[in-house]
Amino acid sequence: MGLCAVIYGTPAMASEGDHWSIFSNILPESLLQNLQVVWGKTWIAGDAHPNRIMHLVMSILVFVLAILCTTLAARKFRKAGTEAVMPERKFGLFTVLELCSEAFLSIMKDAMGPKHARKFFPLIMTLAIFILFGNLLGMIPGMLPATDNLNTTLSLGLVVFVVTHFYGVKEHGFVHYFAHFLGPIRAWYALPLMILMLLIEVISHLARPLSLGIRLFGNMIGDHKVLGIFLSFGVVLLPLPVMVLGLLVSVVQTLVFCLLSVVYIALAVAEADEH
């Protein structure tokens, strides 16, 4: 039985292997079983029916919340006159999103220039909103972070990996883009060095999505388990410092993932611009 099940005194979980969450009692068992069948085999364990599917439910919830927030934000920009660009009268969620968006856009302009910053800004902000909301939901008792599962975090890292090389090839061409994998010296007498550089570059680029996914997964599952341990003591204010630290971890991990994504994409585009 999962740790959260012990905390809340729940006698059973929705599916073996998942921590208990509030959705374990809300969602029908048939729906969870159907999700297991649709999900199919897991790549790592090879199970016919994966026993951890609650991250799917949390990911859908995060998706709905993100769509709701962005829809409300879009309404502001459709207002007539100066109301579309005037700041909010009260400090709220939209103000926070606006400040974060401006900060991310400024960082991206410094890293890759205004042109590419505007092009990749929707992708980076989408990642930021999804990861941040997924992390923060895990801080609510009875909820699970959507980012405490490798299936979710590695998928996000794979998106960054594909976008990085797709636009690198698009900006410079297939041959010239991958030519820099061979190192600065490209001649017949430097063939051993070129092969060595190629191996190093391939391993380095393949490690990027893995590092993004595993870092986010490890920090979030660790934070969630620590919070569960402190909640299990039953002392009202004891988990409060851990929850504050958890909020900091949620924000920092979102920043780390997005900033590294910006750096990877900027390096690919810069390689194209240099040649």
Would the pTM count as exceeding 0.85? no
Q: What is the pLDDT of residue 2?
A: 33
pLDDT in tens, 79-115: 666 666 666 677 666 777 778 888 889 999 998 888 8
Q: What is the sign, positive or negative, of the torsion defined by CA atoms of 43, 46, 51, 57? A: positive
Spell out the domain ranges in the chain. Answer: 1-51, 53-274
Query: One digit per residue, pLDDT tens: the chain, 275 residues?
Result: 233 333 333 334 444 566 667 777 777 777 777 777 777 776 666 666 666 777 888 888 999 988 888 887 777 777 666 666 666 677 666 777 778 888 889 999 998 888 899 999 999 999 999 999 999 888 887 788 888 888 889 999 999 999 999 999 988 888 888 888 887 877 778 888 889 999 999 999 999 999 999 999 999 988 888 887 887 787 778 888 888 888 999 999 999 999 999 999 999 987 544 44
